[in-house]
């Protein structure tokens, strides 16, 4: 979900849904726990009990927002939940999800991952027709589109409302009688369906942004919610309809590069295997260019680990944990202030002299955005005694901002958009720098099978941007 107006632009969220489970709130909680990496600012769960909804939301991690007593109060056998990525400068609590409202067709709660790129114009139109908006987020547009529709059938309202929207939306929705999941026609963000059985023999469903949630709650992966699909389950069983115009699929390649957990299956592919392939392909690229004079392959933990394993296997050079990560802090980019971020890299990553002294090392990272993290890491590796440091990025240069839900800085702050590879190499202080080619990345995700959005790497946006590209992307956080 994205905040409007466009001063701030911090997105990526995770959504879950549960149907027909005696401990729906706890299954939702555990699922949120599994996808916590998708957002750490706020967490929320709405449950359904006898046609009534119970809501609890708060700022912080799922484990900070919920405790046993709260989960006990969230009664019912169906639930949806949301974890939200940080947004500074806005009333954070007002934007916490799920959003919930009492509409003509009863209580409706919505959890959203992605950015609706035409939320601005749709919102203006709705306002001119009398709609009053409470928050500054794009998700509220969905509730208003549903509220204005004359049908008493929520799915009919959604079919019509969602058809008006452009961009990225993976949704879980709870009504007074159904769990609904919907995904934009281009399938930007992941959304998967699983089956679960509770201790009393009830057969139910779980919906989540990533399959790692299913592993934790003991659900069985069934399939993706298809792009352009509204799926729902109520007491009469499972149903599905398509909505909107048929569009070419544009799933986000960056989910595979960085965002998703490596133990998830995203867009039908294992994230871990994709990242390993990316590393392998990068090693092959290097070999063709004769870049084989080094002693060790080390990852930037944790995001560079699978790629470094692939690179090591393909190059035949040993994989070593040359940098040890402190696991008691979150991803550095979560921290909203520059001062905290600067300390962040040092607190988080500690290069080991025992491994690095006198060695020529290839360092693998998943992506290079502003280059500031790599610069600090390379300085630390050199300080630990490495003789040569060769930086390898298991993705192409990041040259364009994302408008579909990943937090990337505006173009002027993307180092590859404003500097040549040699200049970047100098800036980060490496002996050499190489990226995986876009063809290589698409081969790693088996891109030929389905359509991927790689706009962050090639600037080709698969929708109109409705002027969003003309506005600043706002306060850029360190990544």
Residues with a catalytic annotation lie at: 13
Site residue total, ligand AMP (CB under 6 A): 17
Please give the Cα distance from 16 to 428 (Å, whole number): 39
Q: Which of residues 285-314 bind ligand AMP (CB under 6 A)?
A: 303
Phi and psi torsions of 438, nearest 5°: -65, -40
Dihedral pair phi/psi, residue 259, rounded to 5°: -75, -45
- Nearest CA to 370 among 320, 332, 326, 315? 332
Q: Is 38 helix (H, G, I), strand (E, B) or coil?
A: helix
- Residue span binding ligand AMP (CB under 6 A) among the ranges 278-286, 356-364, 365-373, 416-424: 365-373
Minimum distance from CB of 335 to ligand AMP (Å)? 11
CB 181 within 8 A of CB 191: yes
369 binds ligand AMP (CB under 6 A): yes
CA 166 to chain centre: 18
Among 333, 404, 452, 457, binds ligand AMP (CB under 6 A): 333
Site for ligand AMP in 250-279 (CB under 6 A): 258
| Minimal distance, residue 104 CB to ligand AMP, in Å | 39
Residue 117 or 395: the one with the smaller Cβ distance to ligand AMP is 395
Secondary structure (3-state) at 380: helix
Distance CA(214)–CA(343), nearest Å, equals 35
CB of 126 to ligand AMP, least distance (A): 30
Q: Which of 366, 331, 407, 337 is nearest to 113 (CA)?
A: 407
DSSP H stretches of helix in 360-420: 372-383, 415-418
Stretch that binds ligand AMP, among 159-167, 177-185, 193-201, 372-380 (CB under 6 A): 372-380
Residue of the chain from 95, 264, 312, 367 that contacts ligand AMP (CB under 6 A): 367
CB of residue 414 vs ligand AMP: minimum separation in angstroms? 8
Window contacting ligand AMP (CB under 6 A); options: 33-41, 152-160, 241-249, 400-408: 400-408
Establish if 366 lies at the interface with ligand AMP (CB under 6 A).
yes
Q: How far is CA 181 from CA 14, 137, 352, in A?
A: 13, 20, 46
Query: Minimum CB separation from ligand AMP for residue 366, in Å?
Result: 5
Does 188 participate in binding ligand AMP (rule CB under 6 A)? no
Between 175 and 209, whose beta carbon lies closer to ligand AMP? 209
Distance in angstroms (rounded) separating the CA atoms of residues 52 and 82:
19
- Interatomic CA distance for residues 282 and 440, integer angstroms: 8
Phi and psi dihedrals of 418, rounded to 5? -120, -5
**Interface residue with ligand AMP, options 261, 370, 382, 434 (CB under 6 A):** 370
**Of 406, 424, 436, 455, which one interacts with ligand AMP (CB under 6 A)?**
406
Interface with ligand AMP, residue 365, by CB under 6 A: yes
Give the residues lining the site for ligand AMP (CB under 6 A): 258, 303, 333, 365-374, 406-408, 479
């Amino acid at each position: 979900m994205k905040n409007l107006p466009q001063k701030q632009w911090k997105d990526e969220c995770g959504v879950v849904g549960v149907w027909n489970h005696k401990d729906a709130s706890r299954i939702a909680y555990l699922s949120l726990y599994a996808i916590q990496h998708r957002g750490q600012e706020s967490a929320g769960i709405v449950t359904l009990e006898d046609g009534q909804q119970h809501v609890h939301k708060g700022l912080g991690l799922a484990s900070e927002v919920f405790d046993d007593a709260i989960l006990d109060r969230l009664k019912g056998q169906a639930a949806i939940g949301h974890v939200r990525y940080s947004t500074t400068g806005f009333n954070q609590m007002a934007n916490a999800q799920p959003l919930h409202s009492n509409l003509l067709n009863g209580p409706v709660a919505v959890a959203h991952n992605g950015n609706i790129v035409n939320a601005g114009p749709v919102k203006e139109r709705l306002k001119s027709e009398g709609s009053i908006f409470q928050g500054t987020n794009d998700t509220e547009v969905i509730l208003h589109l549903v509220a204005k529709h004359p049908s008493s059938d929520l799915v009919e309202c959604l079919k019509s409302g969602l058809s008006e929207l452009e961009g990225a939306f993976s949704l879980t929705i709870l009504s007074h009688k159904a769990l609904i999941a919907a995904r934009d026609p281009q399938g930007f963000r992941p959304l998967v369906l699983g089956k679960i059985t509770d201790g009393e023999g009830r057969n139910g469903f779980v919906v989540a942004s990533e399959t790692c949630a299913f592993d934790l709650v003991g659900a069985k992966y069934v399939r993706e919610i298809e792009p352009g699909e509204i799926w729902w389950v109520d007491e009469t069983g499972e149903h599905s309809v398509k909505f909107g115009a048929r569009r070419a699929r544009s799933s986000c390649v960056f989910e595979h590069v960085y965002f998703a957990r490596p133990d998830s299956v995203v867009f039908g592919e294992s994230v871990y295997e994709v990242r390993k392939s990316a590393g392998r392909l990068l090693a092959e690229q290097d070999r063709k260019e004769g870049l084989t004079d080094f002693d060790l392959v080390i990852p930037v933990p944790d995001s560079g680990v699978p790629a470094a394993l692939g690179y090591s296997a393909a190059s035949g050079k040993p994989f070593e944990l040359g940098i040890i990560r402190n696991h008691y802090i979150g991803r550095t980019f979560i921290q909203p202030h520059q001062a905290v971020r600067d300390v962040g890299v040092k607190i988080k990553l500690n290069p080991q002299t025992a491994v690095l002294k006198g060695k020529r090392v290839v360092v693998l990272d998943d992506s290079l955005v502003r280059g500031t993290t790599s610069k600090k890491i390379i300085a630390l590796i050199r300080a630990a005694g490495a003789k040569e440091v060769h930086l390898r990025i298991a993705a192409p240069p990041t040259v364009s901002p994302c408008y579909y839900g990943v937090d990337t800085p505006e173009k002027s702050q993307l180092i590859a958009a404003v500097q040549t590879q040699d200049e970047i190499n100098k800036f980060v202080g490496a002996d050499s720098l190489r990226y995986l080619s876009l063809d290589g990345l698409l081969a790693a995700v088996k891109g030929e099978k389905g359509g991927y959005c790689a706009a962050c790497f090639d600037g080709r946006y698969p929708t109109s941007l409705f002027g969003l590209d003309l506005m600043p992307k706002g306060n850029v956080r360190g990544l």
